[in-house]
Amino acid sequence: MKFNRMLLLVFAGLISVLLTACGAAPLANWPGMTSDGKNVYLSNGQVVYTVKVSDGTELTTTATDGSSVSMRFPPKLDSAPLFYVAPTFYGAPALTPDGQMILGDASTLTNVHSIYSVDPATDSTKWTFAEAKGNWIAGAVVSTDAIYAAAGDGKVYAIDFKGKKLWDVNVSDHALWTSPVTDGKLVYVATLAHDVIALDPTTGEQRWKKTLDNAIIGAPAISADGMLYVGTLSGNLYAINAAEGSQVWLTQLQGGIWSTPALDGDTLYVGTSNGTAGKFYAINPADGKLLRTIDDTGAIVASPLITKDQVIYVTEEGHINFFHKDGSRSIPVISIENAKIYTTPILVGDLILIAPMNAPFILAAYNQTGVQQWTFAPK
Amino acid sequence: MGLLWDSLIVQPFTNMLLLIYAFVGNFGLSIILFTIIIRLVTHPFMAAQIKSSTGMQKLTQSDEWKAMQEKYKKDQEKLSQETMRLYKENGINPFASCLPSLIQLPIMIGFYQSIVRAIGATPMQLLSVVRSIYPGMENITHAASLSALIPIHSQFLWMDLGQPERVFLGAFLAALGIPAVGIPVLAIIVGLTTYLQTKLTMPASSGPNDQSAQMTQTMSIMMPLMLFMFTLNYASGLAVYLITSNLIGVLQYAALGKVNWSSLIGRKPEVVEVVVKPVKQLPKKKSAKRS
């Protein structure tokens, strides 16, 4: 009987380890990506991949033993320290003018919530900034002389290019999930607690605060003529005077707005999620009047992409939609089987880059006529 | 199947949790209150389980049972017929002891999923929360509308209920030259309260060879260990649920007069005198010899 009890205990131990190892609640989110024109950097959980835009292959380097090693951040550890918690990245990497890649760790299994400055050429860490008391869901934004980042502790941090804190300011009792944006005059941050807040870029002092009707997930879009366009989960799209924070107009859309609207001259584009369906809107930015509406069977969570001749939006159903700017469809819908797309597509040269989830690949490039050029799946 | 599970278990649980949150304004309290409600709703099943287990234990220790086992040990068909007869005559439903567990397990899994969903620790998880909220919720109270619910205050005491819990002894350990290590306080409390509950609700042994008591003894070590490991990396909301559930479980056993306080203070459980109501004499079989 004693032997049986021992067996049971060993079995229980194994089950526990399995449950813990295989079933740990993942901090799931969609990937973020950015490009310097030559490479695309994809934050996809515990790895940031560097993929060549030219052919979709992963950038490699030569190891000391002569073998070819993929350029990934964080680099593989020869031996992890005791209690090592791997960082997690979801926000789009930010690139500084002097060539640093800025990444925020979204992991919550540690009390050290770092922003990493990485040299993309070597994948080595140049500096880390670990003063925040919360994780980093959103990507940072870079101006000519500072990095602005919104943290899970409700604070916005301004950091110089050497990792030194310039200022921090508490703007919310809740975690911040949207990237700050700046027009050079002010830094704007939207919060889950329904606020849009403008901060002085040199001191962090609050200039104005506008409370909207619901939580804000997408960062505001800034127009050249000093307007902010921002949507809430209620589907209300606001135009706000960027200098003063006063509301210029408000348009009620159907479904919730989860992303940043895209501005193209005299048209503002935004998608909504209404259950599992969605709507895509073209709006007059001057007065908020609807110009066109497209019903879609898939929810639209990502921001649209504007190219020279087309407007492209992606849906949760894994569809990529191409439209002429007059609203007519330019290319039949492209569908990635079983995929879900939440990440905003980016344009690099002539290529449209898509980062799907649940697909056999995590990155795909299409030309302007919708022909797939390459896909990337990590080995 | 996934959709059915979601719409029958996870979504109603999520909405119930959010509705309680809308009224009390504290997510930790909502989990505790919802746990109490669930324990109360499943109390009749639990009482039936305890009653059935006690009856079963008494029956399996009776001379009648042992004689029957010995007599028909080579005739499985007859053995099962006689077993069922004894169950029937003693008013025992053999499935009554496992059915409550079968009901409680999906509730626990569904409840955990609803906690994780309701908190929404990332935009992607929040998307799932928003889709789960019933349209009529805001008609019950404005505090249950989407705009009032989001963002959820997931802080409770020192923990973020949507994340695994750790207490960091940074300054203390740094002084000793050790890197900051998170102490999983809640997981430890889960382990302790599970041990407490298992010990207190352990049925009294009917003898030194009571296999069921030995199995329970093993479970009193296995379960706390498993749940400790389980809660290490899961949202701390689950740990709040488990701790509340364990404590309420002890109270429920106490209310039914089934708490075995002696096992907690290290005394060996007293041997129970087994009394089974007399049943009809077993039919004699020529080949069978009574021991």
Q: Enter the DSSP assignment of B6.
A: I
Residue A121 reports pLDDT greater than 70:
yes
Substitution target from A191, A214, A303 for chain B, most B beta carbons within 10 A = A214
What is the per-residue pLDDT across A78-89, written as a single tens digit (0 to 9) for each?
766 666 678 899
Nearest to B226 among A12, A27, A175 (CB): A12
Residue A114 reports pLDDT greater than 50:
yes
The A residues from 136 to 195 touching B (CB cutoff 8 Å) are: 137, 173-175, 177, 192-194
Interacting residues of A255 by C-beta distance below 8 A, sequence separation 6+: A235, A272, A273, A274, A275, A277, A278, A279, A299
Q: What is the pLDDT of residue A20?
A: 44
Mean pLDDT of chain B: 79
Which neighbouring-strand residues pair with A255?
none
Residue A104 reports pLDDT greater than 70:
yes
Rg (CA), chain B: 24
Q: What is the mean pLDDT of residues A275-286?
A: 96
Contact A106 B122 (CB under 8 A): yes
Nearest to B151 among A28, A81, A192 (CB): A192
Cα separation, A311 vs A324, whole angstroms: 6
Q: What is the pLDDT of residue B290?
A: 43
Q: What is the pLDDT of residue A52?
A: 97
Q: What is the pLDDT of residue B180?
A: 61
B-chain residue closest to A218, CA distance = B123
Contact residues on chain A for B213, CB-CB shorter than 8 A: none
Helices marked H in chain B:
2-5, 11-24, 27-41, 43-60, 63-71, 76-89, 99-119, 123-132, 137-140, 146-149, 170-175, 185-200, 211-232, 236-255, 261-264
Q: What is the pLDDT of residue A47?
A: 94
What is the per-residue pLDDT across A172-222, written as a single tens digit (0 to 9) for each?
999 999 999 999 999 999 999 999 999 999 999 999 999 999 999 999 999
Q: Which of A247-251, B154-158, B236-240 has the highest mean pLDDT?
A: A247-251
Nearest to B229 among A20, A233, A275 (CB): A20
Q: CA angle, corner A265, sides to A92 and A138, nearest 5? A: 15
Dihedral angle sign, alpha carbons of residues B249, B255, B260, B264 = positive
Backbone angles phi, psi at B230, to 5 degrees: -60, -45
Residue B179 reports pLDDT greater than 80:
no
Q: What is the mean pLDDT of residues A256-281?
A: 96
Contact residues on chain A for B179, CB-CB shorter than 8 A: 81-83
User: Residue A31 — very low, low, confident or very high, per pLDDT cuts 50/70/90?
Assistant: very high
Which range (A91-95, A259-263, B138-142) has the least confidence? B138-142
User: Residue B291 — very low, low, confident or very high, per pLDDT cuts 50/70/90?
Assistant: very low
Chain B closest CA to A138's CA: distance in Å? 10
Mean pLDDT of chain A: 92
User: Residue B22 — very low, low, confident or very high, per pLDDT cuts 50/70/90?
Assistant: very high
Q: What is the pLDDT of residue B203?
A: 65
Which range (B96-100, B147-151, B271-275) has the least confidence? B271-275
B→A contacts (Cβ < 8 Å), by residue, are 116, 121-127, 130-131, 146-147, 150-151, 153, 160, 163-164, 166, 168, 170, 179-182, 211, 214, 217-218, 221-222, 225-226, 228-230, 232-235
Structure tokens at A143: 């101006």
Contact residues on chain A for B168, CB-CB shorter than 8 A: 111
Predicted ipTM of the assembly? 0.90
Chain B closest CA to A11's CA: distance in Å? 9
Asked if residues B202 and B196 have their Cβ atoms less than 8 Å apart, the reply is no
What is the per-residue pLDDT across B97-148, written as a single tens digit (0 to 9) for each?
666 666 767 877 888 788 888 888 899 989 999 999 998 888 898 898 888 8
Domain ranges for chain B, please list them: 1-155, 164-268
Asked if residues A225 and A213 have their Cβ atoms less than 8 Å apart, the reply is no
Q: Enter the DSSP assignment of A286.
A: T
The reported pTM is 0.82
Substitution target from A1, A10, A171 for chain B, most B beta carbons within 10 A = A1
